[in-house]
Chains A and B, each alone.
Chain A
Amino acid sequence: QVQLVQSGAEVMKPGASVKVSCKASGYTFSAHYIHWVRQAPGQGLEWMGWMSANRGGTNYAQKFQGRVTLTRDTSINTAYMELSRLNSDDTAVYYCARQDVALDDWGQGTLVTVSS
């Protein structure tokens, strides 16, 4: 079965960068896009962007342009989301999700807390 396992919770200082990993199993990693979605405490879902696991192409939401970088390592079936210049508004649970017909499978989420 498809599984997306994300890295553990992070506490970061304002201005720092965070890199969250998403290890995929149970399917052909390079055959699907990986998306990243975040959810601030008590809030709704916010789409950040996608990455083609095959060619590495990316598409970012304008809000995150210049601050987010999506990458992958196909040798270990792992996708990464790096967010730079963190501020308190970036405190959220970050999810990776596999695109098939829509966002079919999701990671368990990674809580990133930005605090001085």
Chain B
Amino acid sequence: EIVLTQSPATLSLSPGERATLSCRASQIINNNYLAWYQQKAGQAPRLLIYGASSRATGISDRFSGSGSETDFTLTISRLEPEDFAVYYCQQYGNSPWTFGQGTKVEIK
């Protein structure tokens, strides 16, 4: 099973700042099948990024994904108030699919 480790656990930033979230895998992820999800309190997760760097339909270009093999990054270029949430990475290149433990982006 691939273990995904996200860092930091919590990121305290102000609106307008840049957020950089990391996701590290214990093994190479096949085909860079790495996704990022946003989850707000009381809501279901929402797909942001798939294939490590492709934005899902309707997702703002403030969100970008990068990385390959075992090291991946989600960048939010300029934080808007609605971006404060928990973010999860997930790999779907190997069975079983697995999620990281999440990074909470909170208002400083």
A interface with B by C-beta (< 8 Å):
35, 37, 44-47, 50, 59, 61-62, 95, 101-104, 106-109
B43-86 CB mask vs A (1 if < 8 Å, else 0) is: 01111001100101100000000000000000000000000000
Contact A102 B102 (CB under 8 A): no
Closest Cβ–Cβ distance, residue A5 to chain B (whole Å):
12
User: Which of B1, B47, B100 meets A102, CB within 8 Å?
Assistant: B47
Contact A35 B44 (CB under 8 A): no
Instruction: Give the total number of A-B pairs whose CB atoms are below 8 A apart.
Output: 57
Interface of B is mostly: loop
CB neighbours (8 Å) of A106 from chain B are 44-46
Contact B35 A102 (CB under 8 A): yes
Closest Cβ–Cβ distance, residue A21 to chain B (whole Å):
16
Contact residues, B87-104 vs A (CB, 8 A): 88, 90, 92, 95-102
B2-39 CB mask vs A (1 if < 8 Å, else 0) is: 00000000000000000000000000000001010101
Interface of A is mostly: strand
CB neighbours (8 Å) of A108 from chain B are 44
Contact A103 B56 (CB under 8 A): no
Contact B97 A35 (CB under 8 A): yes
Number of interface residues of B (CB under 8 A): 25
Closest Cβ–Cβ distance, residue B49 to chain A (whole Å):
8
Contact A102 B45 (CB under 8 A): no
Closest Cβ–Cβ distance, residue A82 to chain B (whole Å):
19
CB neighbours (8 Å) of A44 from chain B are 88, 99-102
Question: In the bound complex, how far is the Cα of B99 from the Cα of A103, in angstroms?
Answer: 12
Extra inter-chain contacts (17) besides given A44-B102, A59-B95, A95-B45, CB under 8 Å = A44-B101, A45-B37, A45-B39, A45-B102, A46-B99, A47-B99, A59-B96, A62-B1, A101-B50, A101-B54, A101-B56, A102-B33, A102-B47, A102-B51, A102-B56, A103-B92, A104-B56
Question: In the bound complex, how far is the Cα of B56 from the Cα of A106, in angstroms?
Answer: 14
Contact B102 A103 (CB under 8 A): no
Closest Cβ–Cβ distance, residue B1 to chain A (whole Å):
8
